[in-house]
Amino acid sequence: MEADKTNMIEDYVAVHTDDVSLLLEELMAETENITGRSFWSIGKVEGKLLQLLIKMSRTQRAVEVGTFTGYSALVIAEALPEDGILTTCENSQEYADIALQYFNKSPYGRKIKLKLGPALQTLRNIPANSEDFVFIDADKPSYGDYFDEALRILGPGGLIFVDNVFWRNKIFKKKITNENAKAIAAFNEKVRQEDRVEKVMLSIRDGVYLMRKK
Ligand SMILES: C[S@@+](CC[C@H](N)C(=O)[O-])C[C@H]1O[C@@H](n2cnc3c(N)ncnc32)[C@H](O)[C@@H]1O
């Protein structure tokens, strides 16, 4: 019954949200064909929310942690201004190759700089106060470190958007045994206690944390 209700709400929300570009739909289908993991990609509702946030905040420079096959990177690039730049971090050559193929197909792909390697290393090479927007969506045990780096590289008023903060609803269990869920629960508590950001947690898809650096 509860699952039916969740599906009903998600279907209704999807119908009342703009569609994404045809290229993004193509990439989602190809991601499923090649990897069988298209559920890793944020999808259209979260994607549209990201695009609106990028536009409303007039973001020029964005950073993404976790490119995968490039769906969310292209979502962000489509919303950035002509001279906007997205730095996106991925440590898998296989996924990066698919992403690069799609960045080349898109008129917005030239705004994207893909950094192959451990995301934390890439973030540490970004100057302080130089970015407007950080999207975190990679390995869950490192979320706390990515958050610390995001606070360093963002200027005042910069936004942080974090995916999967419900970790497939496993964080709601009385006794959390799943390692990723434990890491996410600890991350959520770290953010809750952090006074340097204004924050709201949203029950969209697998849960999203949206923050603004004060
Ligand atoms: C959930 S997927 C990202 C999905 C993507 N944001 C989207 O919506 O299309 C997470 C990605 O993070 C990558 N990743 C995991 N650990 C990483 C690390 N330490 N450094 C860089 N990338 C990492 C994985 O290879 C995977 O492609």
List, as one string, the DSSP characters of 64-129.
EE--TTSHHHHHHHHHS-TT-EEEEEE--HHHHHHHHHHHHHSTTGGGEEEEES-HHHHHHTSPTT
CA–centroid distance, 146 to ligand 1, in Å, is 12
> What was the pLDDT predicted at 4?
83
Nearest residue to 73 (alpha-carbon basis) of 45, 96, 39: 96
Whole domain around residue 202: which residue ranges?
A: 2-213
**pLDDT over 70 (residue 84):** yes
Q: For residue 41, how far is its CA from the centre of ligand 1 (angstroms)?
A: 10
96 Cβ below 6 A of ligand 1? no
pLDDT exceeds 70 at position 171 = yes
| pLDDT tens profile 173-211 | 999 999 999 999 999 999 999 999 999 999 999 999 999
Confidence of residue 1 (pLDDT cuts 50, 70, 90): low
Does residue 2 carry a pLDDT above 80?
no
pLDDT of residue 46 exceeding 80, the answer is: yes
Q: For the chain, what is the domain count?
A: 1
pLDDT tens digit string along 89-144?
999 999 999 999 999 999 999 999 999 999 999 999 999 999 999 999 999 999 99
Burial level of 177, CB count in 10 A (0-12/13-18/19+)?
Answer: exposed
Q: How many angstroms separate the CA atoms of 2 and 69, rounded? A: 32
The pTM (predicted TM-score) of the whole model is 0.97
Query: Is the pLDDT confidence value at 26 over 80?
Result: yes
Question: How confident is the model at residue 3, as a pLDDT?
Answer: 77
Q: What is the CATH number of the domain that holds 151?
A: 3.40.50.150
Dist. CA 116 → ligand 1 center (Å):
11
89 lines ligand 1 (CB under 6 A): yes
